[in-house]
Amino acid sequence: MKTYLPNRFIVERDPARCIQCEVCVNQCSFDVNYRDADEDEVRSREENCVGCHRCVLFCPTRALNIRRTPLDYRENANWRPEIIEDIIRQAESGGILLTGMGTDKAHPIYWDRLVLNASQVTNPSIDPLREPMELRTYLGRKPDSLTVEPGSLALKTKLAPQVAIEVPILFSALSYGAVSINVHKSLARAATEMGTLFNTGEGGLHRKLYKYGANTICQVASGRFGVHPDYLNVGRILEIKIGQGAKPGIGGHLPGEKVSAEVAATRMIPKGTDALSPAPQHDIYSIEDLAQLISALKEATNYTKPVSVKIAAVHNAAAIASGIARAGADIIALDGIRGATGAAPKIIRDNVGIPIELAIAAVDTRLRQEGIRNQVSLIAAGGIRNSGDVIKAIALGADAVYIGTAALVALGCTVCQQCHTGKCAWGICTSDLRLTKRINPDIGAQRLVNLLRGWSLEIKEMLGGMGVNALESLRGNRLHLRGVGLTDTELEILGVKMAGA
Amino acid sequence: MTGKEPTSPAVTARDSVQIDAAGLTTQQLNDLLRRAVADGIKKIELRNVCGQRYIGTDLGQPVEIDIYGTPGNDLGSFMDGPRIRVHGNAQDGCGNTMNHGEIVVYGHAGDITGLSARDGKIFVRDYVGYRAAIHMKEYQERKPALVIGGTAQDFLGEYMAGGTVIVLGMELKPGEKHRARFIGTGMHGGAIYLRGEVEKYQLGKEVGVKELDDNDRAALGSLVGEFARHFSYEAEALLQGKFIKLVPLYLRPYGRLYAYG
């Protein structure tokens, strides 16, 4: 069938600069750049270009540029080029449109409409360069009250397991199989160095990475891939994955092409078979069933680890979160509509779920109203882009945040949304050994450590500016936030005042 | 739920103990089991079990456990090694995500028996509930098996990715058909051997029916032999009658679902 799809990008090659070295040919995993044997010249098949810019950044003479080539359809606010081209793609394939990363649609980004406070005159700001600033966060269930031994003041209350993290930023679930072993290694090493945690996602943990167990969150999802007693015991926190922000309510299909020998060994499924994760966990049809799996995991690890439950932020997130807390979870992870994925139906990624900012506020408010906020830690995920988003999430009521896309961008990702193809030219979202070696775990870890260090410094500056010397004092303290350009209803749900008020 | 104060297990022989589970909470009972195994106990008899969950979950040893009474949900979930005999019925989630070991039920078992099991064997003398063997999987030498003496309910072997399920249909009267529907929906690995009649509409659209070959008969003979020994049946008699083998039609049932754009 002749395709009616136009090219998406133009590859501009400056002949004066191009030295015909073929770096671009070798770097492109989408079969764009090639040496034309007849003409003995490097050329480009522009129809294959996805705009990942790998060739541009690796061209030694900077001879390349990639530009968007929006076909100049007649102007139409309704039938936009993307909508036309999605229809063409489906008319030519008859399938569900797949995509990668988080939604690219213009859902309101409330982070950009929230502003932070700072001290002026009436209370002094604190200089974090000279005074201690506390970012340490303890994840886990906190007791309703504490009793201490009268004389020695020794703690008599038996505490649920607590996990200390030195920065309130964890690496979000990225499964081995979706991402490469070198990405997992980079995340694990960076988490260890920074005193935080990375999350295995649902594909198990490669045996070589068991040594990073103290900085690992081991996920248990509907496919139960690679879930066995060693795996459950090696991690610091166990996380039951109910849903994710990019695709609430549906499961996942890791295509057989990505199930290499090593991925197969870690997931414990035959090489080359599709790894199908059912939409629900079939032992969880209710809050009571969830309580049962939480207890089963605690039994399996002798009550030594906090259990987290991750849900996509959906309409009833607040009521669901209340149920999760009452089911015995120690941590609730909330993933908003802008959360990313290795592969999801585009229509679901772009249309299902609610923004994380509203979900944090709604859940925190509900748990406080019910007097059970202390029973769980709240981790917010889905669209955290910088330290400003982190600090706003915490002021809204989160204990910590997950970052996924931001971490991948630190590793080289340019958010070209081709994760589902398994051809990632940056060697991130692929199991093709030729590509995965493009991530050097030493350099990858360094880039991630640098990112977290930069954000930590910025958070301390912002905290100091507010006259706060511990993140704990900001948590859920929405008086430090004001809204700009928001409706009364939005302000009410967020629990913040309008700027100026 | 707060239980009574657990009493010390009664040592019945060297390496063996008897535990009275009456009034114990799940956590108290499993704590006693953990301690017994840590003390080197190899054989445990549990009396008066009544709804306690996750028995055998965190033991990680090839210890033998005889359960009298009714164990609760998730019996042997994530289990790695123990051999459990239930002298009674098992509830939902028996053998959930089991890694290794054996569960023999001298009665019936509930829904999702053997969910996501990766290895080990489950023998159920009577019937099982809905979604038995869902997402059972295998890897290299690890091959789980579920043998059911009676029948199963809908969605047997749903999403099954490996392992062996045998349904002997012993409680079916002559001429009576299996009642389960959507058998093997989404199945993409492993095999289900079914004795007795099913109609085409009862099968998931991702499974095909095959005649048994010699390899199948050998596998069947071995597992049915074990089943017969556990429950004192004649293996020969159980192997009579017509078996069909249900296998996945596609290794990638949902491969054509998507447009990679």
For chain B, what are the domain ranges? Answer: 14-107, 113-253
- Give A389-408 pLDDT, tens digit per residue: 999 999 999 999 999 999 99
Whether residue A269 and residue B115 make contact (CB cut-off 8 A), yes or no, is: no
pLDDT of A61 reads: 98
The CB density around residue A298, as the number of other CB atoms within 10 Å, is 23
Looking at this protein, which amino acid is placed at residue A122?
A: T
Residues in chain B within 8 Å Cβ distance of A265? 139
Neighbours of A330 (CB within 10 A): 25
Residue pair B190/B162 in contact (Cβ under 8 Å)? The answer is yes
Cβ <8 Å between A300 and B54: yes
Give the E-state strand segments of A8-108 in sequence order. Answer: 9-13, 33-36, 41-44, 64-68, 96-99
Is residue A139 within 8 Å of A331, Cβ to Cβ? yes
B68: helix, strand or coil: strand
Percent of chain A exceeding pLDDT 70 equals: 100
For residue A486, the distance in angstroms to the closest alpha carbon of chain B comes to 37
Q: What is the mean pLDDT of chain B?
A: 94
Q: What is the mean pLDDT of chain A?
A: 96
**pLDDT 10s digits, A464-488:** 999 999 999 999 999 999 999 999 9
Domain borders along chain A are 9-95, 137-142+167-463+473-498
DSSP string, A89-146: HHHHH-SEEEE-SS--S----GGGGEEE----SSS----TTTS--B--EEESPPPS--
- Chain B residues with CB inside 8 Å of A97's CB? 258-259, 261
Note the Cα B232 to chain centre separation in Å: 18
- Digit-coded pLDDT (tens) for B39-81: 999 999 999 999 999 999 999 999 999 999 999 999 999 999 9
CB B228 within 8 A of CB B238: yes
B227 contact partners, CB below 8 Å, separation of at least 6: B123, B147, B149, B166, B168, B233, B235, B238
Structure tokens at B149: 């003496």
Neighbours of B14 (CB within 10 A): 9
Count of beta carbons in the 10 Å neighbourhood of residue A71 = 11
Say yes or no to pLDDT of B257 above 90: no
Comparing CA positions, the residue from A387, A353, A170, A340 lying closest to residue A249 is: A353
Q: Does A10 touch chain B (CB under 8 A)?
A: no
DSSP annotation of B136 reads -
Give the pLDDT band of residue B261 (cuts 50, 70, 90).
low
**B257 touching A (Cβ < 8 Å):** yes
Write out pLDDT tens, residues A205-214: 999 999 999 9
Distances (CA, A) of A185 to A165, A189, A294: 19, 6, 28
CB of A282 within 8 Å of any CB in chain B?
yes
Among B93, B116, B188, select the one facing A274 at the smallest CB separation: B188
| The predicted structure's pLDDT at residue B259 | 80
| Cross-chain Cβ contact B162/A421 below 8 Å | no
CB–CB of B188 and A96 under 8 A?
no
Which of B28, B32, B52, B78 best probes binding to A when mutated, by most A CB atoms within 10 angstroms? Answer: B78
Pairing outcome for strands B258-259 and A96-99: parallel
Average confidence (pLDDT) over A176-193: 97
**Which of A86-107 are b and which e, b meaning 16 or more Cβ less than 10 Å from the residue's Cβ?**
beebeeeeeeebbbbbbbeeeb
Contacts of A276 in chain B (CB under 8 A): 135, 159, 161, 186, 188, 253-254
Give the H/E segment covering residue B189.
strand B189-195
Give the residue carrying structure tokens 């053997």. B114
CB proximity B1 to A under 8 Å: no
A47 touches chain B (CB under 8 A): no
What span, in angstroms and rounded, lies between the C-alpha atoms of A419 and A430?
8
Location of structure tokens 């100091």: A464
β-pairing, B189-195 with B243-248? antiparallel
- Mutate: best of A268, A299, A303, A424, partner B, most B CBs <10 A: A299
Of A96, A282, A303, the CB nearest to B115: A282
CA distances to A239, A285, A337, A382, A424 from A178, rounded to whole Å, are 18, 27, 20, 18, 11
pLDDT for B14:
82
Cβ contacts of B255 on chain A, cutoff 8 Å: 255-256, 274
Q: Which residues pair with A326 in a beta bridge?
A: none
pLDDT beyond 60 at B151: yes
3-state secondary structure of B200: helix
Task: Select the residue of A253, A282, A421 nearest B134 (Cβ to Cβ).
Answer: A282
pLDDT at A227 over 70: yes
Return the structure tokens found at B140: 């290299």
So what's the pLDDT on residue A273?
84
CATH code, B113-253 = 2.160.20.60
What is the complex's ipTM, to 2 decimals? 0.92
Interface touch A276/B26, C-beta < 8 Å:
no
pLDDT reported for residue A358: 98
Pairing assessment for the beta strands A137-139 and A163-165 based on DSSP bridges: antiparallel
B257 vs A256: CB contact, 8 Å cut-off?
A: no
Distance CA A17, CA A500 (A): 55
Gyration radius of chain A's alpha carbons: 24
Residues of chain B numbered 47-106 and touching chain A (CB < 8 Å)? 53-54, 57-58, 60, 73-74, 77-78, 80, 92-93, 96-97, 99
Which whole number is the average pLDDT over B182-209? 95
Asked if B260 contacts A98 with a C-beta cutoff of 8 angstroms, the reply is yes
* Amino acid type, B182: F
Q: At what angle do helices A356-369 and A387-396 cross, to 10 degrees?
A: 30
Query: Which residues in chain B have Cβ-Cβ distances shorter than 8 Å to A223?
Result: 116, 135
The β-bridge partners of A403 are A171
Is-contact A217 A198, C-beta < 8 A?
yes
Per-residue pLDDT at B256: 77
Angle at the Cα of A255 (from A252 to A260), degrees rounded to 5?
A: 120
Those residues whose C-beta lies under 8 Å from the C-beta of residue A46, and which sit 6 or more positions away, are A7, A9, A10, A11, A32, A69
CA-based angle A302:A308:A309, to the nearest 5? 125
> CB–CB of A181/A262 below 8 Å?
yes
Does position B2 have pLDDT exceeding 60, yes or no? no
Q: Does A160 touch chain B (CB under 8 A)?
A: no
Helix (H) or strand (E) holding B103: strand B100-105
Is residue B250 pLDDT above 90, yes or no? no
pLDDT above 70 for A193: yes
**Res A76: pLDDT:** 96
- Cα A496 from Cα A253, distance rounded (Å): 40
Contacts of B34 in chain A (CB under 8 A): 302
Q: Looking at domain A9-95, does it have CATH number 3.90.180.10?
A: no
Single-letter amino acid code for the residue at A46: E
Q: A127 Cβ partners below 8 Å, 6+ apart? A: A464
Q: What is the pLDDT of residues B23-43, one digit of tens each?
A: 999 999 999 999 999 999 999
Contact A431, A258 (CB under 8 A): yes
Whether A96 sits inside 8 A of B258 (CB atoms) is yes
Query: Which residue reads 């030594």 in tokens?
Result: A304
Looking at the partner chain, which of A96, A228, A268 has a beta carbon nearest the beta carbon of B257? A96
> If contacts are CB pairs under 8 Å, which of residues 202-241 in chain B contact chain A?
none
Segment 170-199 of chain B within 8 Å of chain A by CB? 186, 188-189
Dihedral angle computed from the Cα positions of residues A360, A111, A170 and A192, in that order, rounded to the nearest 10 degrees? -150
CB contact under 8 A, A268 and B60: no
Distance from CA of A224 to the nearest CA of B (A): 7
How close, in Å, is residue B234 to chain A by CA atoms? 35
| B161–A421 CB contact, under 8 Å | no
* The CATH number fitting domain A137-142+167-463+473-498, selected from 3.30.365.10, 3.40.50.300, 3.20.20.70, 3.40.1280.10: 3.20.20.70
Other CB atoms within a 10 A radius of the CB of residue B36 amount to 22
pLDDT of B5 over the 80 cut: no
Quote the minimal CA–CA distance from A249 to chain B in Å: 17
Sign of the Cα torsion A437, A440, A445, A447 reads negative
Distance CA A165, CA B185 (A): 44
Task: Tell me the shortest Cα–Cα distance from B252 to chain A, in angstroms.
Answer: 6
Selected residue of B58, B115, B185 to mutate for chain A interface (largest A Cβ count, 10 A)? B58
Nearest CA distance, A279 vs chain B (angstrom): 11
Mean pLDDT on B210-233 = 97
Position of tokens 């099913």?
B198
Position A86 confidence tier, pLDDT thresholds 50, 70, 90: very high
Q: Do B252 and A274 touch (CB under 8 A)?
A: yes
Query: Nearest CB to B118: which of A256, A268, A301?
Result: A268
Q: Provide, rounded to the nearest whole percent, the portion of chain A with pLDDT above 90.
A: 95
Residues A333-391 pLDDT 10s:
999 999 999 999 999 999 999 999 999 999 999 999 999 999 999 999 999 999 999 99
Distances (CA, A) of A344 to A124, A339, B69: 49, 11, 46
Size of interface A-B (CB pairs under 8 A): 135
* Total residue length of chain A: 501
Predicted local confidence at residue B205, as pLDDT: 93
pLDDT at B210 over 90: yes
Locate the chain A residue with the closest alpha carbon to B111: A283
Q: What percent of chain B has pLDDT over 90?
A: 89
Sequence-separated (6 or more) residues with CB below 8 Å from residue A351: none
- A237-286 pLDDT tens trace: 999 999 999 999 998 888 888 899 999 999 999 888 888 899 999 999 99
Q: Which residues pair with A8 in a beta bridge?
A: none
